Amino acid sequence: MSLLGAADGARADRAAGAVALLQAVADPVRWAVLDILADGPRCVCDLQERIPVAGNLLSYHLKVLREADLVSATRRGRWIDYALVEDAADRLAAALPGARRPVTT
């Protein structure tokens, strides 16, 4: 493979990672979760009160955000606390076209 081909492959890999990350947040429910968590960690019970969807649907959306490594979960008794991961905002900004930093997934 030529040097140009390797560079194109790396660019394609970065683009695929960026698209996957942006797809994870391109849902109104997931965006609402991120918006709430931007103010600080929240118990799932708080999220359920503030986001008007069924519990199983909220759970699915939280799973998508965890798998995208945008949200972390910590068990506290029978409840789970959710928080944005430390670099979530930077990774989302880097996923936008024209960003200078590569997206890591």
Q: Using one digit for the tens of pLDDT, what is the confidence trace for 45-101?
A: 999 999 999 999 999 999 999 999 999 999 989 999 999 999 998 888 888 887 765
3-state SS, residue 25 = helix
The answer to whether the beta carbons of residues 90 and 1 sit under 8 Å apart is no
Q: What is the pTM of this model?
A: 0.79
Domains of the chain: 3-95 (1.10.10.10)
Q: Decide which of 28 and 15 is more confident.
A: 28
pLDDT at 9 over 70: yes
